[in-house]
Chain A
Amino acid sequence: MRLPLSSLLIILLFSGAVYGADSDAESRIKALEEALSDQQKTINELKAQKEGGRLRLIDISLDALFSAGGSTEGDESLQSLQGGGHDPRKRGFTVQNVELSLSGAVDPYLKGEAHIIYFLDPLEGETVVELEEAFMTTTSLPYGLQLEAGQFFTEFGRINPQHPHQWHWQDQPVINTRFFGPDGMRGPGFRLGWLAPLPWYSEFHVGMQNANGETMASFLANDELFGERPIGNRPFVQRDVDTMKDLVYLARLDNSLDLTQNVTAKVGLSGLYGPNATGEAGETGIYGADLVIKWRPGYQERGWPFIIWESEVMRRDYKADAVYDDSDPANVIDLKKETLRDWGLYTQLLYGFSPGWAAGLRYEYATGSRDSVGGRDNDPFRDDRTRISPLLTWMPSEFSRLRVQYNYDRADHLDDEEAHSVWLGVEFMYGAHAAHAF
Chain B
Amino acid sequence: MRFIYALLMLSIFSTASFAEVNVVATLPWIGSVAKEIGKEKINVAVLVKSGQDPHFVEAKPSMIVAAKNADIIMYNGLELEIGYLPLIITSSRNPKIQPGQKGNLDCSISVNVIEMAKTDLDRSMGDVHASGNPHYHLSPDNVLKAAKTISERLSSIDGGNSDFYRSRFDIFEKGLREKMKEWDERMAPLKGKKVILYHRDMNYLMERYGIGVVGYIEPKPGIPPTPKHLQSLIEAGKREGVSAVLVNTYFERRSPSFVADKIGVKMLMLPIDVFGVPEARDYISLMDYVTNAVKEGLR
Residues on A lying within 8 angstroms of B by beta carbon are 40, 44, 105, 108, 111, 137-142, 144-146, 195, 197-201, 256-261, 264, 266, 294, 296-303, 355-356, 397-399, 430, 433, 435-438
- In the bound assembly, the distance between CA atoms of A355 and B223 in angstroms comes to 10
* B61 contacts A260, C-beta separation under 8 Å: no
Partner of B93, one of A146, A200, A201: A146
- In the bound assembly, the distance between CA atoms of A159 and B120 in angstroms comes to 38
Given A199-B11, A200-B65, A301 and B60 contact (CB-CB distance below 8 Å): no
Considering only CB atoms, which chain A residue lies closest to B7 in the complex? A199
Given A298-B51, A398-B222, A435 and B10 contact (CB-CB distance below 8 Å): no
How many pairs of residues, A versus B, come closer than 8 Å at their CB atoms?
A: 117
The reply on B84 being an interface residue by CB < 8 A is yes
What are 17 of the A-B contact pairs (CB < 8 Å)? A40-B112, A44-B110, A111-B90, A138-B93, A140-B94, A195-B93, A199-B65, A297-B51, A298-B51, A299-B52, A299-B250, A300-B53, A301-B250, A303-B53, A398-B127, A435-B86, A437-B91
A157 to chain B, nearest CB (A): 16
Partner of A141, one of B13, B49, B93, B126: B93
* A139 contacts B65, C-beta separation under 8 Å: no
* B250 contacts A300, C-beta separation under 8 Å: yes
- In the bound assembly, the distance between CA atoms of A399 and B87 in angstroms comes to 18
- In the bound assembly, the distance between CA atoms of A298 and B276 in angstroms comes to 10
Partner of A438, one of B52, B60, B82: B60
- In the bound assembly, the distance between CA atoms of A165 and B14 in angstroms comes to 36
The reply on B6 being an interface residue by CB < 8 A is yes
Chain A residues whose CB sits within 8 angstroms of the CB of B252 once the complex forms = 301, 355
Partner of B61, one of A145, A397, A438: A438
Chain B residues whose CB sits within 8 angstroms of the CB of A294 once the complex forms = 58
- In the bound assembly, the distance between CA atoms of A303 and B222 in angstroms comes to 11
- In the bound assembly, the distance between CA atoms of A437 and B61 in angstroms comes to 9
B1-48 contacts to A (CB < 8 Å): 2-3, 6-7, 10-11, 13-14
Chain B 55-85 near chain A by CB (<8 Å), digits 1 or 0? 1101111101100100000000000001111
* B58 contacts A296, C-beta separation under 8 Å: yes
* A-B pairs, 4 with minimum CB distance: A201-B61, A256-B61, A140-B95, A303-B56
* A300 contacts B51, C-beta separation under 8 Å: yes
The reply on B98 being an interface residue by CB < 8 A is yes
The reply on B239 being an interface residue by CB < 8 A is no
- In the bound assembly, the distance between CA atoms of A235 and B155 in angstroms comes to 70
* A300 contacts B52, C-beta separation under 8 Å: yes
Chain A residues whose CB sits within 8 angstroms of the CB of B3 once the complex forms = 259
Partner of A301, one of B13, B14, B251: B251
The reply on B224 being an interface residue by CB < 8 A is yes
* B56 contacts A302, C-beta separation under 8 Å: yes
* A301 contacts B53, C-beta separation under 8 Å: yes
Most buried by B among A259, A261, A433: A433
Chain B 111-132 near chain A by CB (<8 Å), digits 1 or 0? 0100000000001001100000
* B87 contacts A437, C-beta separation under 8 Å: yes
* A258 contacts B60, C-beta separation under 8 Å: yes
Main SS of the interface on chain B?
loop
* A298 contacts B49, C-beta separation under 8 Å: yes
- In the bound assembly, the distance between CA atoms of A215 and B280 in angstroms comes to 55
A380 to chain B, nearest CB (A): 37
- In the bound assembly, the distance between CA atoms of A228 and B222 in angstroms comes to 47
A426 to chain B, nearest CB (A): 17
- In the bound assembly, the distance between CA atoms of A397 and B122 in angstroms comes to 14
* B98 contacts A139, C-beta separation under 8 Å: yes
Partner of A137, one of B51, B86, B90, B224: B90
Considering only CB atoms, which chain B residue lies closest to A255 in the complex? B61
B127 to chain A, nearest CB (A): 7
A35 to chain B, nearest CB (A): 15
The reply on B249 being an interface residue by CB < 8 A is yes
Chain B residues whose CB sits within 8 angstroms of the CB of A397 once the complex forms = 123, 126-127, 222-223
Chain B residues whose CB sits within 8 angstroms of the CB of A142 once the complex forms = 95
* A264 contacts B61, C-beta separation under 8 Å: yes
B244 to chain A, nearest CB (A): 20
- In the bound assembly, the distance between CA atoms of A195 and B58 in angstroms comes to 20
* B52 contacts A201, C-beta separation under 8 Å: no
Chain B residues whose CB sits within 8 angstroms of the CB of A40 once the complex forms = 112
* B123 contacts A399, C-beta separation under 8 Å: yes
B111 to chain A, nearest CB (A): 9
* B62 contacts A201, C-beta separation under 8 Å: yes
Most buried by B among A142, A299, A436: A299
Chain A residues whose CB sits within 8 angstroms of the CB of B52 once the complex forms = 296, 298-300
A63 to chain B, nearest CB (A): 14
* A438 contacts B58, C-beta separation under 8 Å: yes
- In the bound assembly, the distance between CA atoms of A399 and B83 in angstroms comes to 12
Chain B residues whose CB sits within 8 angstroms of the CB of A141 once the complex forms = 93
B145 to chain A, nearest CB (A): 8
* B2 contacts A260, C-beta separation under 8 Å: yes
- In the bound assembly, the distance between CA atoms of A231 and B189 in angstroms comes to 79
Further contacts, 8 of them, CB under 8 A, given A139-B90, A256-B62, A258-B6: A140-B94, A146-B93, A195-B93, A199-B11, A256-B61, A302-B224, A435-B87, A438-B58
- In the bound assembly, the distance between CA atoms of A144 and B65 in angstroms comes to 10
Partner of A355, one of B86, B123, B224: B224
* B93 contacts A303, C-beta separation under 8 Å: no
* A139 contacts B51, C-beta separation under 8 Å: no
A27 to chain B, nearest CB (A): 15
B107 to chain A, nearest CB (A): 14
Considering only CB atoms, which chain A residue lies closest to B85 in the complex? A435
A408 to chain B, nearest CB (A): 31
Chain B residues whose CB sits within 8 angstroms of the CB of A256 once the complex forms = 60-62
Chain A residues whose CB sits within 8 angstroms of the CB of B94 once the complex forms = 140
Chain B residues whose CB sits within 8 angstroms of the CB of A430 once the complex forms = 123
Considering only CB atoms, which chain B residue lies closest to A194 in the complex? B93
Chain B residues whose CB sits within 8 angstroms of the CB of A198 once the complex forms = 14
Most buried by B among A139, A198, A266, A398: A139
Chain A residues whose CB sits within 8 angstroms of the CB of B98 once the complex forms = 108, 139-140
- In the bound assembly, the distance between CA atoms of A266 and B249 in angstroms comes to 30
Considering only CB atoms, which chain A residue lies closest to B109 in the complex? A44
Given A301-B53, A435-B83, A199 and B13 contact (CB-CB distance below 8 Å): yes
Considering only CB atoms, which chain A residue lies closest to B65 in the complex? A201
Most buried by A among B58, B84, B251: B58
Chain A residues whose CB sits within 8 angstroms of the CB of B2 once the complex forms = 260
Chain A residues whose CB sits within 8 angstroms of the CB of B110 once the complex forms = 44
